[in-house]
Chain A
Amino acid sequence: MLPDTFAALGNATRLAIVERLLREGEAAAGDLADGTMSAPAMSHHFKVLRDAGILEQRVDAQRRLYSVRPEAIRAIGRWSLTHRQFWEQSLDRLDQLIDKENRP
């Protein structure tokens, strides 16, 4: 799941879409087009972002509205580790390993 998230964001156009939706909230597909890209190309980017679980879509009358799923962004945050988190988590795992191997 997370590799899909990162693969989907590893594209400047898609990252720009996500950044804009995070900043401004839900928006219609048409409003997110920057005018330089064809409609099929844009809809491909929306599909990749939806398939990766980053965006959700709802239909309002004639418009498709997109927004960012907060869970997707939180999942990314879990992999942004500080030194402290790296060692705390490592030492927790050491504790589990010692428990497992030295259980009477």
Chain B
Amino acid sequence: MSELRIERSYSIDATQLYAYLTRAEYLVQWWGPEGASVSAASLDLSRPGPWSITIETPRGPFEMTGEVLKVEPGRLVEFTMDVPGQNAPDSTVRFEIVPDGARRSRLTLVQSGITDDMVEMGKRGWGGTLARLERVMGLAGA
């Protein structure tokens, strides 16, 4: 099991940042990789319970679901995350917010329970094909 940790700093206060991290109208605008768009969401991370989101990518839609485990307004959200159809256990994601002066706040994102950092989220349905292509590309580049 490995853990992924990313730290960022944003130019808004902790209460505002918490809203961007938990409310659907904000989440659908930033969740997902470059070029992706969110097509359906039940995504209120500010209260314990299930959530789901469908992200459209050039490879086709992929769905993510999970359950909000823990909420501390303005400070912390913790939820499980599962990509259906992927052969991977649920991982747990935690957003931690710390105020940094009057108009700044720091975000620490921790994802734990990842078996392999190379588990690729966008690969659903294409896992076999891409893995084979990458192997061959590795050979070709050697």
- Contact indicator A97/B118 (Cβ below 8 Å): no
List residues of chain B with CB within 8 A of the CB of A92.
34
- Is B20 within 8 A of A79, CB to CB? no
In chain B, positions 1-28 with a C-beta closer than 8 Å to chain A are 4, 6, 8, 10-12, 16-17, 20-21, 26
Q: Does B29 contact A (CB under 8 A)?
A: yes
Quick check: A80 and B120 within 8 Å, CB to CB?
yes
The docked-state distance in angstroms from the alpha carbon of A86 to that of B57 is: 12
Which residues in B have their C-beta under 8 angstroms from that of A73?
Answer: 133, 137
Q: Indicate with 1 or 0, residue by residue over A23-43, a CB within 8 angstroms of chain B CB atoms.
A: 100000000000000000000
Interface of B is mostly: mixed
Beta-carbon contact of B133 and A22 below 8 Å: yes
Q: How far is the CB of B24 from chain A (nearest CB, A)?
A: 14
Q: How many residues of B contact A (CB 8 A)?
A: 43
Q: A79-101 toward B: CB 8 Å interface, digit per residue (1/0)?
A: 11111111111111111111100
Q: Are A22's CB and B29's CB within 8 A?
A: no
In the bound complex, residues from chain A placing their C-beta under 8 Å from that of B118 are 82
Q: Min CB distance, A24 to chain B, in Å?
A: 9
Distance of B69 from chain A, by nearest CB (Å): 18
A60 to B17, alpha carbons, bound, how many Å?
61
